[in-house]
Structure 1
Amino acid sequence: MSSITRHHTGDRMSQIVIHGDTIYLAGQVGNKGDSVAAQTQTCLDKVDALLAEAGSDKTRILQTTIWLDNMGDFAEMNGVWDAWVAKGHAPARACGEAKLAHPDLKVEVLVIAARG
C-alpha cells in the first residue's frame, strides 16, 4: 500500500498531497485585484515552488485544470501559460469558467504531477 504524505495542511485542505509517486496540488490563486496575466503568473510561480518542494517540476505535470472567472480572459491567461509550460511536456489540460472564492480572483490552477 502506498503511503500518503501531506504538506502545508490546515483544517480545510493541504497544499500538497503525495500518494506514491503522484503529487496533487491544491488550487493555486494569484493576488486579488491583479490582472489576469499577473494572477496567472503568480499561480504558476506557486506551482513551481510546490512541485520543487514535493520533488518534481513542471516537466512532470500530468494534468492541469484551470478555472477562469470569465472565459473572455482565456487568451490573456494562455499568453502566460504558453510562455511557462515546458516545451514538449504539455500536460493534459482543461480550462473552464467558474465563480471563484472571491470576486477579485480571476484564475485558479490545479495540478497533478509525477514525482521526479
Structure 2
Amino acid sequence: MSEIIRKHTGVRSSKIVVHNETIYLTGQVGTAGESIQKQTQECLDKIDALLAEAGSDKTRILQCTIWLSDMGYFAEMNEVWNAWVPEGHAPARACGESKLARPELKVEMIVTAAK
C-alpha cells in the first residue's frame, strides 16, 4: 500500500496531500475584499510555495480548477494567470462560476501536480 503524506492538516482539510508522485493542493484563495488581480496573484503565490514545499513547481502542474465568484472576472484573472504560467507548461484547466465561502472572495484555485 502506498504511503499518503499530509501536510498542514486541520479539521477539514490538508493544504498538501502527496500520494505516489502526485501532489494535491487544497483550494487557495487570496485576501478577501482585494481586487481580482491581487486575489489571483496571492493564490498563485501560495500555490508556488506549497508546490515548493512538496518538492515540485508550476511547470509540473497537471490540472487546475478555478472558481470565480463572477465570470465577469475571467479576463482580468487570465491576465495574471497568463503571466504566471511558463510557456509550454500550461496545465489542463477548467474555470467556472461558483458562490465561494465568503462574498468578498473572488477566486479559488485547486491544483494537482506531479512531483
Shorter-chain TM range is over 0.9
- Structural mapping, 1:15-26, within 5 Å: 15-26=15-26
Q: Displaced runs of 4+ in structure 1, greater than 2 A? A: none
TM-score (norm 2): 0.99
Match of 2:102 in 1: 102
- Equivalenced residue count is 115
1:63 lines up with 2:63 in the alignment: yes
User: What is the percentage of aligned positions where both structures have the same residue?
Assistant: 71
Match of 2:85 in 1: 85
Deviation at 1:86, TM superposition (A): 1.1
- RMSD value over aligned CA atoms? 0.4
Q: Which amino acid aligns with 1:5?
A: I
Structure 2 gaps of 5+ residues are none
Give distance in 1, aligned partners of 2:109 and 2:87.
Answer: 19
Give distance in 2, aligned partners of 1:104 and 1:80.
Answer: 19
Secondary structure at the counterpart of residue 41 of structure 2: helix
Q: Which amino acid aligns with 1:86?
A: P
Give distance in 2, aligned partners of 1:101 and 1:89.
Answer: 30
Match of 2:41 in 1: 41
